[in-house]
Amino acid sequence: MDKMQITIDRIADIDKDIMRKTQERLDLLTKPQGSLGRLEELAKTVTGITANENPSLKNKVIFTLAADHGVAEEGVSAFPQEVTLQMVYNFLNGGAGINVLAKHIGAKVVVVDMGVAEEIKIDESDNFKNKKVALGTKNMTKGPAMSRDEAIKSIECGIELVEEELKVGLDIVGIGEMGIGNTTAASAISCTITKKNIVSLTGRGTGINDAALRTKQEVIQKALLINKPNNRDGLDILSKVGGFEIGGLCGIILGASANKIPVVIDGFISTSAALIASIMEPKTLSYMIAAHSSVEPGHQIILNHLGLKPLLDLDLRLGEGTGAALGIGLIESGIKILKEMATFKESGVTEEK
């Protein structure tokens, strides 16, 4: 049996009994019940995911996956394709937004080449992984973006990333991406799964003008008509209109879920990967925490489809895992409330009548 199916088969329901016990503990803390709102909810969710009443978030990792898209040649982005490679080097040199925000919360950034169109000239390290499936996907307006075997490989590479980090310590995962043209792939995936119209699910990505937006919508329409992805088959959708980094993100969600690790979803592209993971195994939804709602118009639509309530709404649209980093900071705050705040009995404070 292949790694992907073995991983899916290991995904279990989260522990509702521990969540009940956590709620009882939260209700004893020196505050009106429920007064810390979603921070309490986050603490309870993490205990259920980890099956641990006293979880630790010491080892925080944000995976930033990079890949190129053949559909970029259709003029769907404000930036040329070579920016993907340039940004990978920027991540590795510590100069990107994700580096700043990850450092702020004490998280490690792991940059992954899933399918950048050029070879990255750097050795593998703790912070860089070469999982290249191919030199970018094919142009999905002319046929499938990748083969079904490549789709499986991209997912299994994501699972491997989780397994490799587990060896050195992994308590919570954030996912992000970089890839010129990837909002086009994310919109095509989202249209297929949610059955919403292309206009409502297609935004400006890197900041394209009105004419380019119309072109992008037409490109997505053409890709869907040519490929006819099956909305009940995650692999079919990924192979026909997806991207290697999206497959890798899906694999990370599956791998994290199988190992009882919370996975914090970043923006539009990351959430499109969550859509695919949810089709492959609906139990993964219980392991996902949506960090934010971005300004991409389709993002809130797919969050609603998944039943995920975002933690933040800050008009973000960068990707990279930046929103996930901010979300992890809030989640850690919730865990600290659970573990460090005194109860009424411990503090000698009079309880409410």
* Average pLDDT estimate for 42-52: 98
Choose the catalytic residue: 320, 340, 346, 352: 320
Q: Name residue 174's beta-bridge partners.
A: 62, 264
pLDDT grade for 1, boundaries at 50, 70 and 90: low
In contact, 230 and 217? CB cutoff 8 Å? no
Residues of the chain with CATH 1.10.1610.10: 3-55+338-347
E strand residue ranges, 71-217: 108-115, 128-130, 172-178
pLDDT tens, residue by residue, 62-82 = 999 999 999 999 989 888 999
Buried b (16+ CB within 10 A) or exposed e, 23-45: bebbebbebeeeebeebbbbbbb
Task: Return the pLDDT at 78.
Answer: 86
**Selection from 265, 245, 104 nearest residue 174 by Cα:** 265
Residues of the chain with CATH 3.40.50.10210: 60-327
Average pLDDT, the chain: 96
Considering the four listed CATH numbers 3.30.420.240, 3.20.20.190, 3.40.1350.10, 3.40.50.10210, the one that applies to the domain covering 60-327 is: 3.40.50.10210
**Which residue from 187, 174, 257, 253 is spatially nearest to 215, judged by alpha carbons?**
187
What is the per-residue pLDDT across 132-179, written as a single tens digit (0 to 9) for each?
999 999 999 999 999 999 999 999 999 999 999 999 999 999 999 999
In this model, does residue 104 exceed pLDDT 80?
Answer: yes
CA–CA dist 325, 147 (Å, integer): 32
**Model pLDDT for residues 176-214, shown as the tens digit of each residue:** 999 999 999 999 999 999 999 999 999 888 788 988 889
Which tens digit of pLDDT belongs to each residue from 216-227? 999 999 999 999
Instruction: Give the whole-angstrom CA distance, residue 128 versus residue 112.
Output: 6
- Look up 320 and say whether it is catalytic: yes
Q: Which of 336, 338, 340 is nearest to 25 (CA)?
A: 338
Name the CATH topology of 3-55+338-347: 1.10.1610
pLDDT of residue 290: 98
Which pLDDT value is given to residue 207?
A: 85
What does the H/E/C string look like for 222-258?
Answer: HHHHHHCCCCCCHHHHHHHHCCHHHHHHHHHHHHHHH
